[in-house]
Amino acid sequence: MCEHEVGLEPPPPRTPGCEECLRLGTPWVHLRLCLSCGHVGCCDSSPGRHATRHFHHMNHPVAASFEPGERWAWCYVDQAMVDVPPEATPYLR
Ligand SMILES: [Zn+2]
Ligand SMILES: [Zn+2]
Ligand SMILES: [Zn+2]
């Protein structure tokens, strides 16, 4: 865990896939779930990089992997892998 996860109350995912890609009709590679607002965005290997862009727009610090079976999160502020808060695990795939 990192300090940016303290006090987070992760909401359920807002969309089943990358929110922006679904709207634009563009493909993604992997998905990330924002633990501040439930935004689902695509990873940096995807053309849109919408998860990272979401961090830059919203300053929401931590996103969890939204890939089946994966249980890890990334803190954009610390640029480090962190644990998924227990409150968020029911929303992961
Ligand atoms: Zn952090
Ligand atoms: Zn995307
Ligand atoms: Zn967010």
Please count the other Cβ atoms lying within 10 Å of the Cβ belonging to residue 1: 13
Of 85, 39, 77, 83, the C-alpha closest to 59 is 77
Label residue 74 exposed, middle or buried (CB < 10 Å: 0-12, 13-18, 19+). buried
Ligand (nearest to CA of 51): 2
**Per-chain residues with Cβ under 5 A from ion ligand 1:** 2, 4, 75, 77-78
Report field, pTM of the whole predicted structure over 0.95 = yes
How does pLDDT run across 29-88, given as a tens digit for each residue?
Answer: 999 999 999 999 999 999 999 999 999 999 999 999 999 999 999 999 999 999 999 999
Ligand (nearest to CA of 43): 2
Helical residues (DSSP H) of the chain, grouped into ranges: 19-24, 50-58
Ligand (nearest to CA of 24): 2
Give the Å distance between the CA of 63 and the centre of ligand 3: 8
Give 6's contacts (C-beta < 8 A, 6+ positions apart).
none
Give the Å distance between the CA of 54 and the centre of ligand 3: 6
